[in-house]
Amino acid sequence: MHGATTGDRGGLGELLRLAWPTVLARLGIMAMGLTDAIVVGHHSATELGYHALGWAPTAVVLTTAIGLLIGVQVMAARYVGEGRSADTGIVLRRGLAYGFWLGIVATAGLYFAGPPLLALSGLAPDLAAGAAAALRIFALSLLPYVLCCVCSFWLEALGRPIPGMVAMWIANGVNLALNLWLVPGTSGLGVEGAVASAWATFGARIALMAMLFGYLWRWAGSRTHGVFARGGDARDDGRGGEQRRVGYGAGASYFVETAAFSGMSLVAGLIGSLEVAAWAVVLNVAAIIFMGPLGLSSATAVLVGRAYGARDRAGVLRAGGLGFGVTAALTALICAIVWPGADLIARGYSSDPALLRLVAPALVLSCLFFIADGLQVVAATALRARGDIWLPTAIHVGCYAVVMLPLGWALAHPAGLGLDGIVWAVIVASLLSSGLLLGRFLLLARQPLG
C-alpha cells in the first residue's frame, strides 16, 4: 500500500492501522531511555546521577525541536487530502532542510551553553562536571534524531508508519548492545558510565537515521511522491511558512509542558529527597502511559489533516471523534490495570519500604489524570491539523504554567498534602486542559472550514 488516497473515509480501521505502529514507535523512544538508565544504574549510582542530570536539559531541547517539526506531518496529510500526494515530497525536502538547521542550532546551543548552565545551577562541582560530559555527547545526537523525526512524520502522514516503528526498535537493539559493551568501561575505548551510555545513544540514532534514509532511497513511492523531484517549491504559495507556523505552536506547547513538569520536580525537591524519588517514579510511569495517546494523536492528526485538506467538515469531526474515543478507551483500560497493580508497579522501581509507601498511593491517584492527559494531547494535535495553531498553545500555557505549577506548590506545601498535592495539581491542570481543548474542537466543528 502506497499510502492513503483522498477517498479514505478515516474510519476506525484506518485510525487503528495508523495508530498501533505509531504507538509502538513512541514506546521505543521510552525504551531507549529506560535501557540507558538500567544499564548505567547497575554500573554505578553516581554515574546514573550524571546521566540523569545530563539528559534533563537535553530532553527539553529535543522535545521542543520535535514539536517544531510537527508541521511536516500536518502539511503532508493535508496535501494527501487535497489530492496532491505527488507533491508531498516538497514537504519532506522542506522539513529536512529546516530540521538540519534546527538540529545544528540545538546541538551548538546545548553543547556550548549547557555545561556552564549546569555549573551555575548550584550543583556540586563534581556532579556538574560529570553531567556536563554526558550532556555534550547527548547534544551531538540531536541532529541525526531530528532528521529521523522528519522522515517518520512524513511516512506516517502518507499512511506508512511501520518502517519508522521497525527502524526504532532495531535502533533499540543497537542501543542495548552498545550500552552493554561501553558502559562497564572494558571496551578499550576509554569511556564508561554516563558518557559511554551517551555514546551508545549517539550510535543508535546514527543507525536509525541510516535506516530511514536508506528506506526512503529504496522505496519506489519516494519517486511517485516527488521526494527526488527538482523544483516545485516555487509553486507552493507560502505553504512553507504555514508548515513552520504549525511547528511553532506545537514546539511552544511541548516546551511549556516539559518545563512545567520539570518545575514540579523542584516542588517535590522542596519537600524532601524521598518525595523527589517518588515523584520521579510516578512521572516515569505517566510518561510510558503517555506514549499511547501520543501515538494516537499522530494518527488522529493524519486523518484530520487529510479531511481538512479535502475540505470535508464531517470528516474532520469524524476523525477527531474517533481519536478521542479510542484514546479514552485505551487510557481507561490502562487505569484499570494500574489502579489495582500500583503496589506491584512500585516494587518494580524500588524495594525501599519508605519509598513504596509514597509511590503506590500516588500511582493510584494518578489514574485520575491519565485519561484527561491523553485526551488533551490528542485534542491539541487535532486542532493544529485543522488549522488552529495558537489557541492550543495558549491553553497549555494557562493550564500547565499558570495553574499547575503554583497550585502544585500550594497543595504540597501550605496545604501540607506533599506528593499527593503535586498529583492533584496535575489532575486539575489536565482536566482543565482537556475540557478546553475538546470544547474548542467541537466549537470549530460547527463552523465552515477556512
Assigned domain for 378 exists: yes
Decide if pLDDT at 305 tops 80: yes
- Reported as a pLDDT band with limits 50, 70 and 90, residue 3 is very low
CA distance 200 to 443: 47
- 408-414 contact pairs (CB < 8 A, 24+): 408/264, 408/267, 409/267, 409/270, 412/267, 412/268, 412/270, 412/271, 413/267, 413/270, 413/271
Comparing CA positions, the residue from 393, 392, 401 lying closest to residue 425 is 401
Decide if pLDDT at 19 tops 70: yes
CA distance 375 to 293: 7
pLDDT of residue 407: 97
- Reported as a pLDDT band with limits 50, 70 and 90, residue 233 is low
Decide if pLDDT at 15 tops 80: yes
319-343 pLDDT tens trace: 999 999 999 999 999 999 999 999 9
Q: What is the mean pLDDT of the chain?
A: 90
- 216 and 312 in a single domain? The answer is no
Rounded to whole angstroms, what are the CA distances from 436 to 66, 154, 290, 308, 391? Answer: 24, 29, 19, 21, 10
Q: Which amino acid is at 122?
A: G
- 263 and 372 in a single domain? The answer is yes
Neighbours of 235 (CB within 10 A): 9
Q: What's the domain count of the chain?
A: 2
At residue 188's C-alpha, the angle toward residues 187 and 191, to 5°, is 75
- Contacts for 83 with CB less than 8 Å, ≥ 6 apart: 6, 310
CA distance 238 to 234: 9
Which residue among 237, 269, 285 closes a domain? Answer: 237
Asked if 157 and 243 touch (Cβ cutoff 8 Å), the reply is no
Assigned domain for 1 exists: no
pLDDT of residue 54: 85
- Reported as a pLDDT band with limits 50, 70 and 90, residue 8 is very low
pLDDT of residue 234: 43
At residue 62's C-alpha, the angle toward residues 180 and 208, to 5°, is 50
- Reported as a pLDDT band with limits 50, 70 and 90, residue 117 is confident
40-92 pLDDT tens trace: 888 887 888 788 888 888 888 888 988 999 999 999 999 999 999 998 999 99
Decide if pLDDT at 206 tops 50: yes
Rounded to two decimals, the pTM is 0.88
- 85 and 156 in a single domain? The answer is yes
CB-count burial class (<10 Å; 0-12, 13-18, 19+) for 425: buried
Q: Which is higher by pLDDT, 270 or 181?
A: 181
In the structure grid, which three cell numbers stand for residue 336, read together?
A: 484499570
CB-count burial class (<10 Å; 0-12, 13-18, 19+) for 13: exposed
Which residue among 204, 237, 270 closes a domain? Answer: 237
CA distance 62 to 143: 10
SS3 for 309-348, per residue?
HCCCHHHHHHHHHHHHHHHHHHHHHHHHHHHHHHHHHHHH
- 250 and 230 in a single domain? The answer is no
- 184 and 287 in a single domain? The answer is no
Which residue among 237, 270, 292 closes a domain? Answer: 237
Q: Which amino acid is at 243?
A: Q
Neighbours of 224 (CB within 10 A): 15
Comparing CA positions, the residue from 175, 139, 203 lying closest to residue 30 is 175
pLDDT of residue 237: 56
What is the domain extent for residue 84?
Answer: 18-237
Q: 112-133: buried (b, 16+ CB within 10 Å) or exposed (e) per residue?
A: eebbeebeeeebeeebbebbbb
pLDDT of residue 99: 95
- 222 and 282 in a single domain? The answer is no
Please give the average per-residue pLDDT across 172-184, as a whole number.
96
Q: Which is higher by pLDDT, 230 or 155?
A: 155
245-287 pLDDT tens trace: 989 999 999 899 888 887 887 788 778 878 877 888 888 889 8
pLDDT of residue 280: 80
- 112 and 228 in a single domain? The answer is yes
pLDDT of residue 435: 97
- 283 and 352 in a single domain? The answer is yes
- 344 and 321 in a single domain? The answer is yes
pLDDT of residue 7: 40
Assigned domain for 8 exists: no
Decide if pLDDT at 214 tops 90: yes
Q: Which amino acid is at 435?
A: G
Assigned domain for 11 exists: no
DSSP of 371-399: HHHHHHHHHHHHHHHTT--HHHHHHHIII
- Reported as a pLDDT band with limits 50, 70 and 90, residue 6 is very low
- 253 and 181 in a single domain? The answer is no
Assigned domain for 151 exists: yes
Please give the average per-residue pLDDT across 99-123, as a whole number.
90
Among 217-221, 257-261, 407-411, which is the least confidently predicted range?
257-261
- 432 and 307 in a single domain? The answer is yes
CA distance 16 to 11: 9
Assigned domain for 4 exists: no
Decide if pLDDT at 122 tops 80: no
418-432 pLDDT tens trace: 999 999 999 999 999
Decide if pLDDT at 126 tops 90: no
338-387 pLDDT tens trace: 999 999 988 887 778 888 899 899 999 999 999 999 999 999 999 999 98
CA distance 400 to 426: 8
- 178 and 231 in a single domain? The answer is yes
- Reported as a pLDDT band with limits 50, 70 and 90, residue 450 is low
Assigned domain for 105 exists: yes
Assigned domain for 294 exists: yes
Asked if 428 and 418 touch (Cβ cutoff 8 Å), the reply is no
CA distance 87 to 105: 28
pLDDT of residue 232: 53
